[in-house]
Structure 1
Amino acid sequence: MIVQWANQHDFHTLLKRSEVEDKPILLDLHSSECSGCLCHDRNIYSDPDVARDIAEHTFPVRVVTTAPDQAATDIINNHIYIWSPTIQLLAPDQTRYHEWNGAPRRTRLSVGYQTVFHDTPGHLTPESFKAQLLVGRGKAALRKKKHGEAIRLFDEAITRHSTDRVTVDEATRWRKVARNGGVIESTWDRHRQVTTSPLAIAVERFAQTVATVPDELLMKDWVGKPGAGDWQWYSDCLREVVLQGYQELCDFAVTAERERAKHGPQFTDTYRLLGQHRFAYREFQSLFVGVPDALLDNTPLRSERSIRENLAHVVMAEWWAYRPQILHALDRGRKGLPPQAVPAADTVAQHGEPPGNHESLHELLALYERVHLRNTQDYSAITHDELGIRSAWWELGPVELRFRLQRYIWHPRDHAVSIDKILDASGHRHTANHRFASRLFSGLGTAEAALIGADGFFTDQIDSLAITINQRADEAARLLNQVTDS
């Protein structure tokens, strides 16, 4: 038995059948120039059990990515992103139930990406393919609120493929959700932290506590101590105290920049660029204040990524894409060598597969925190002159590292817009307190930007500010507890 593939011209007809017959689309994006794709044909799709499972449980569609016609291009641009898997299980509305881990990874065909061909062999086997098909079918059943069927499929995946860590981890995660009637526990809240520095932890605590307080308490009499100095006149309610905390962070940045100008270390263009990224990063992080994990996999917009896919992509892009290209270009430039792109296979070999299929919001944000801080540290060594080093990647010609960092800044802002749009389409409205809490992250980004490239600078002042903000977090928690107790 072999897989009977439909093609791009059958795609929309099969989407309609998928809805009527309650059977997902298996989308395979294929190229005869892709070593991993050819390996799949030889070793996976030729397996009789794999072919039988595909025929019984899916509508298989293969779209060839080499010299595509318009119908193929439309599908490719919807379903291939930089470093996105090329095997996907789709719902009738073209949103994704599942993306295969270990599949060869390719790039979309949009302008600006046409010249890239990331050929990675992948590491799927017939067994791992069948394991992930079970997981994908379980996720499809879970989305359709068929909890008993979902549990059965996840149990089967765990039992039949007990040595496949990726499958077991993901099936276990979603099995718990199915057993809980589809309820997904929120994981990023005031009881656990994703940030790491004392100042960031204090701000996160304060922001998450503020976001938990009902909006009607914004103007309630404040239970804590008045602010220092002239701020004493603006400490009568939670609203004023949050704005005070935001301003204290911004004022800290003003003082730190002034002292650095006097005593060093002086700002460089690299530090300023990384400071802009820190601000963009903290504002991106602030989007998730008050967002429950249950919204991670919502797909309210036809054919568009979920919040999980956007967040996982941003994390992946910073560590698996920008980082190796920037550091590789820097190393070659310092050695006087011409620019050269890093093969995608090298990145996968070094760092493994990107995240994204089942991690909790807390896990994804904590990973992003580690990735972001490590990148900032490593990029800080780029000198002013080295910003002019040329870097090769998917553009038609090499670009300067300065431009590469500028685009690095822009990337989380781009996906922040997408996530905000998904939240809006999902009916999730940030409360006034959520919005005030988000301002605290903006203030944190402003304060931290003033410290880029200055490790150990202003330590006493940072500690003092963290103590003040932690006190505010404690006071806000007391206000919340008073309301809860009453």
Structure 2
Amino acid sequence: MSKLKVQWADQHEFHALLRRSEVEDKPVLLDLHSPECSGCVNHDRNIYSDPDIARDVMEYTFPVRVVTTDPDRASTDIINNHIYIWSPTIQLLAPDQTRHHEWNGAPRRTRLSVGYQTVFHDTPGHLTPDAFKAQFLVARGKAALRNKKYGKAIGLFDEAITRHPDDRVTVEEVSRWRKVAQDGGVIESTWDHQHQVTTSPLAAAVERFAQTVATLPDNVLMQDWIGKPGTGDWQWYSDCLREVVLQAYQELCNFAVTAERERARHGPRFNDTHRLLGQHRFAYREFQSLFIGVPDALLDQTPLRSERSIRENLAHMVMAEWWAYRPQILHALDRGRKGLPPQVVPATDTVAQHGEPPGSHESLHELLALYERLHLRNTQDFSGITDNELGIRSAWWELGPVELRFRLERYIWHPRDHAVSIDKILDASGHRHTANHRFAARLFSGLETAEAALIGTDGFLAGRVDSLMTTINERADEAARLLSQVTDIKPGIG
């Protein structure tokens, strides 16, 4: 009796199988393969040759293999739609081509569109037959969950844990998605006035105030304020929530004016790098403010056909800033300081140093908290670049090296670019920010103004920062008391 093999369809059968997938309720397994990729070759030798894997792949999916070496037009369209800059080679797809699951540990492939193909990167991955089997059960469970087959999803998740209790990725994914299935598809929101992602005391105070304001209904916006009036001339503008938010915003902006003046007088001196990083902080906090009031239930929704989810955008943001921009900038800086020519950092080096980028199960709070930590670390490590060093050349996917100044300018644009994508997804999902959400977002704008004035300093104006933090925390306390008086909403629901 011949050994069962995976019978792969090709790129020309892909769309027909997606149509069958919708009719037969059977997902498509997409394998992006290259004979030049050691990890891909290993899959054929050690994973797809496993009779249990081959049987399950054929029974539960429509398997499609697209070869990424010298692709034709049909292959390139699929590759560019399913490799988000740099993505795993194995994905389980819904009929609309959105992803139920990407295999953690599978080789990662670089997108083929103009530019990226000039520095085509492969990482071999570390997927084993057992890891594939574990994630296959999770992937099928997520597909069942998405189709509201909660009992089937729980059964698949339980089977994954029973068979693979020592697989960390599987355990983490199952612990999240099994609870959702058990709750009938209800996903708990994780970033609100009770859960914070910022780390510095001033940012934490602003976030707490903003999240509490966002939780309040719009009908309290103009009600008499229950807290104390502002100091000085602000006493005339403390009569309602709207005015108090304006006051806190302006106090953050006034602090920035003071900080810039004191830096000009006493140092540390502002340089162009600090200004560029300040612009990035603006873009980052504005991006972060988009998520005020956004429930976790929207993370994986795909209201725009063939476009990526909020989760995928967020995971990409983290990957781009930490696994891409950071190593290329620091590598170019190190080589430039040593008088060496520019050189690209291989993707394999990045994975070896930092591990895999985020997976597909983190909560909104976890993703934003990770982004916060990595963003602040990047700002700190980039702030030592001098004005002269901004002229150092950096090699990456462009056809020639560019200056670090340009690299940082592109770094600034990146969160602004994806903010548009997130906003578009939220709009298509029917999510509307309330007036209070919008006022809360202005507090993040004030925060970014204050923070930008301190980039490149350590402990500068610490006393004034503490005083400002105390004032905003007092406002957050007052807003929390107002929230406790409101009985027609539930705290934490955006």
Q: TM-score, normalized by length of structure 2?
A: 0.97
Residues 1-21 of structure 1: per-residue CA shift (max 9 Å, x gap): 111111111011001100000
SS at match of 2:91: strand
Aligned partners of 1:485, 1:279: CA distance in 2, in Å? 35
Candidates 182, 188, 193, aligned match of 2:191: 188
8 A contact 1:81–1:106 mirrored in 2:
no
| Cα drift, residue 192 of structure 1 | 2.1
1:137 and 2:132 correspond = no
Counterpart in the other structure of 2:336: 333
Query: What number of residue pairs does the alignment pair up?
Result: 486
1:45 and 2:48 correspond = yes
After the TM superposition, list the runs of 4 or more consecutive aligned residues in structure 1 that deviate by more than 6 angstroms: none
1:394 and 2:400 correspond = no
| Cα drift, residue 240 of structure 1 | 1.0
| Cα drift, residue 405 of structure 1 | 0.9
- Alignment gaps of 5+ in structure 2: 490-494
Candidates 19, 23, 28, aligned match of 1:16: 19
Amino acid at match of 2:444: F
Candidates 457, 464, 468, aligned match of 1:465: 468
Counterpart in the other structure of 1:157: 160
8 A contact 1:158–1:172 mirrored in 2:
no
1:222 and 2:231 correspond = no
Residues 36-92 of structure 1: per-residue CA shift (max 9 Å, x gap): 111111111111111111100100111111221111111111101222212110000
| Cα drift, residue 112 of structure 1 | 2.2
Aligned partners of 1:114, 1:123: CA distance in 2, in Å? 23
1:100 and 2:94 correspond = no
Counterpart in the other structure of 1:202: 205
Counterpart in the other structure of 2:125: 122
Aligned partners of 1:129, 1:53: CA distance in 2, in Å? 11
8 A contact 2:104–2:359 mirrored in 1:
no
Aligned partners of 1:348, 1:40: CA distance in 2, in Å? 19
- Alignment gaps of 5+ in structure 1: none
Counterpart in the other structure of 2:492: none
Candidates 294, 299, 302, aligned match of 2:297: 294
Counterpart in the other structure of 1:67: 70
Residues 126-177 of structure 1: per-residue CA shift (max 9 Å, x gap): 1111111110110011011110000000000111111111111111210111
Aligned partners of 1:483, 1:347: CA distance in 2, in Å? 49
SS at match of 1:39: helix
1:146 and 2:149 correspond = yes
Identical amino acids, percent of aligned pairs: 85
Counterpart in the other structure of 2:180: 177
Amino acid at match of 1:345: T
Assess, with a 3 A threshold, how the Cα gap between structure 1 residues 17 and 482 changes in structure 2: closer, same or farther: same
Residues 76-116 of structure 1: per-residue CA shift (max 9 Å, x gap): 11101222212110000111100110111111122221212
SS at match of 2:117: coil
1:257 and 2:268 correspond = no
* 1:356-375 → structure 2 map (5 Å cutoff): 356-375=359-378
Candidates 426, 430, 433, aligned match of 1:427: 430
Aligned partners of 1:410, 1:356: CA distance in 2, in Å? 24
8 A contact 1:309–1:356 mirrored in 2:
no
Aligned partners of 1:41, 1:394: CA distance in 2, in Å? 30
8 A contact 2:86–2:111 mirrored in 1:
no
8 A contact 1:8–1:72 mirrored in 2:
yes
Aligned partners of 2:35, 2:257: CA distance in 1, in Å? 57
Candidates 246, 249, 254, aligned match of 1:246: 249
Q: TM-score, normalized by length of structure 1?
A: 0.98
* 1:303-322 → structure 2 map (5 Å cutoff): 303-322=306-325
Aligned partners of 1:383, 1:235: CA distance in 2, in Å? 43
Aligned partners of 2:118, 2:321: CA distance in 1, in Å? 21
Aligned partners of 1:276, 1:370: CA distance in 2, in Å? 18
Counterpart in the other structure of 2:349: 346
Aligned partners of 1:384, 1:326: CA distance in 2, in Å? 15
| Cα drift, residue 485 of structure 1 | 8.7
Aligned partners of 1:417, 1:247: CA distance in 2, in Å? 26
1:212 and 2:185 correspond = no
Counterpart in the other structure of 1:280: 283
Amino acid at match of 1:144: N
Aligned partners of 2:283, 2:458: CA distance in 1, in Å? 20
SS at match of 2:118: coil
SS at match of 2:100: strand
8 A contact 1:280–1:412 mirrored in 2:
yes
Aligned partners of 2:41, 2:400: CA distance in 1, in Å? 30
Aligned partners of 1:70, 1:485: CA distance in 2, in Å? 56
Residues 231-276 of structure 1: per-residue CA shift (max 9 Å, x gap): 1111111011111111111111111111111111110111011111
Amino acid at match of 2:127: L
Aligned partners of 1:43, 1:380: CA distance in 2, in Å? 46
Candidates 35, 48, 60, aligned match of 1:57: 60
Aligned partners of 1:219, 1:45: CA distance in 2, in Å? 64
Aligned partners of 1:382, 1:34: CA distance in 2, in Å? 37
Aligned partners of 1:290, 1:108: CA distance in 2, in Å? 33
Candidates 268, 272, 276, aligned match of 2:271: 268
8 A contact 2:110–2:122 mirrored in 1:
no
| Cα drift, residue 229 of structure 1 | 1.5
